[in-house]
Amino acid sequence: MAIAALSISRMLFVRQLVTTLLVLSLCVGCGSSGSAPQAARTSSSSGYNGKSPIKVIATVGMVGDIVRNVGGEHVEVTQVMGAGVDPHLYKATRDDVQTIMGGDAAFYSGLMLEGKMADTLVKVARSKPVFAVTELIDESQLLEPEGSAGHYDPHVWMDVAAWSRCVEVVGSALVDLDPKHAEDYHKNAESYRQQLTQLHEYGLKSIASIPEQSRVLITSHDAFNYFGRAYGLNVQGVQGISTESEAGLQRVNDLVDLIVGRNVQAVFVESSVPRKNIDALVEGARSRNHDVQVGGELFSDAMGDAGTYEGTYIGMLDHNLTLVTRALGGTAPEKGLNGKLSHAGGPAK
């Protein structure tokens, strides 16, 4: 199915509105997950000079991977935040600003994931196209944590079906920038969406194989609520949506109660978050004569190392789905959906 091209008017925002919304995002603070300006750009001709490949700057790996897959040979992607970097806490350096300003266009996740980069995005949006890939995700698909006052959870990529809407935004943006290669962008986007559909179906089947009593996913922070909703898991994070929040003693004690009461066999650390809170859960459960294992390391706010399968969005989610399934007693191939995982952990199935 070809991408439905977004109108230029939809993709453009008045500079003052861009600035106002981004400044408001700074005031609300990183990790509260409200809407950041979507698909902001100051003029249809700013930024890209028509030369190939398009020099694209992406904030996080999940965004950069969409652009690479849809853009193919026609784009050159530079990613600001690499493996293991926490976007909630990341603040652009002077070199980052120069890199972003040197690109033809910039893509970011939105929903305030990159809250501390808001001032940088303001500067960039004055002179070149800036796109938020979450623009087309319907609000009905977004999670609004209790007490968040209308600000959405930004970790949408954990639901593969919801994240696939971002492919349309990227494809339409690239067509607008480079219409002579529109057919390639349409074909690449459709191919990538089909791969995401297969991944989503794999997740549904794999997680469903976990015994119902064991479908409890305990992680370092609340990055997996979309994951839980999409694939049928009771998700609990030690910290809140943002890794800036602190885990209180009462929260740790409550989770230990849950682990013991539900006979939870595994809890999980995250690649971009220190593991001290998960270790506290393990020790707490042990003090109550319950042995809970660290089931492995999940990718939450960042993908794996560049050049690896886990360093792609599909590899990242394949890893998470396979690891969780096997560690919690379900059935999934050791090497995952595509047989490419370097290590999935969990008991052999």
Give the pLDDT score at 272. Answer: 63
Q: Are residues 169 and 247 in the same domain?
A: no
Name the one residue in this structure whose structure tokens are 């970790």: 155
32: in domain: yes
3: in domain: no
- Between CA 317 and CA 115 the distance in angstroms is 24
Alpha helices in the chain (DSSP H): 8-11, 15-28, 61-71, 94-101, 118-125, 160-163, 165-177, 182-208, 225-231, 249-261, 276-286, 313-327
Q: Are residues 243 and 296 in the same domain?
A: yes
Q: Are residues 54 and 128 in the same domain?
A: yes
Q: Is 276 exposed, middle or buried, given 0-12, 13-18 or 19+ CB atoms closer than 10 A?
A: exposed
Give the pLDDT score at 307. Answer: 93
87: in domain: yes
278: in domain: yes
Query: Is-contact 156 111, C-beta < 8 A?
Result: yes
339: in domain: no
Structural Rg of the chain based on CA atoms: 20
| The one-letter amino acid at 80 | V
pLDDT beneath 70, residues of the chain? 1-47, 147-149, 240-248, 272, 343-349
| DSSP secondary structure letters along 118-159 | HHHHHHHHTTS-EEEGGGGS-GGGS---TT-TTPPPS-GGGS
Give the pLDDT score at 47. Answer: 54
Closest C-alpha among 249, 224, 250 to residue 236: 224
- Between CA 49 and CA 176 the distance in angstroms is 13
Closest C-alpha among 18, 40, 56 to residue 178: 56
- Name the domain boundary from 157, 185, 201: 201
152: in domain: yes
Which two structure tokens, joined as six digits, stand for 208?
């469903």
Query: For residue range 235-279, what is the model confidence (pLDDT) as tens digits?
Result: 998 875 444 445 567 888 889 999 999 899 999 988 767 788 888
- Between CA 197 and CA 195 the distance in angstroms is 5
Q: Are residues 144 and 126 in the same domain?
A: yes
Report the CATH number that the domain containing residue 276 is assigned in CATH. 3.40.50.1980
Which pTM value belongs to this model?
0.83
Give the pLDDT score at 326. Answer: 95
Domain count, the chain: 2
Query: For residue range 62-98, what is the model confidence (pLDDT) as tens digits?
Result: 999 999 999 999 999 999 998 877 787 788 888 988 9
How many degrees, rounded to 5, is the angle at CA 314 between CA 332 and CA 241?
95
Kindly give, in sequence order, each residue whose CB lies less than 8 Å from that of residue 147, ignoring residues fewer than 6 positions away: none
Q: Are residues 129 and 240 in the same domain?
A: no
Q: Are residues 230 and 311 in the same domain?
A: yes
Domain containing 257: what range?
209-327
Give the pLDDT score at 131. Answer: 95
Q: Are residues 250 and 312 in the same domain?
A: yes
Q: Are residues 185 and 227 in the same domain?
A: no
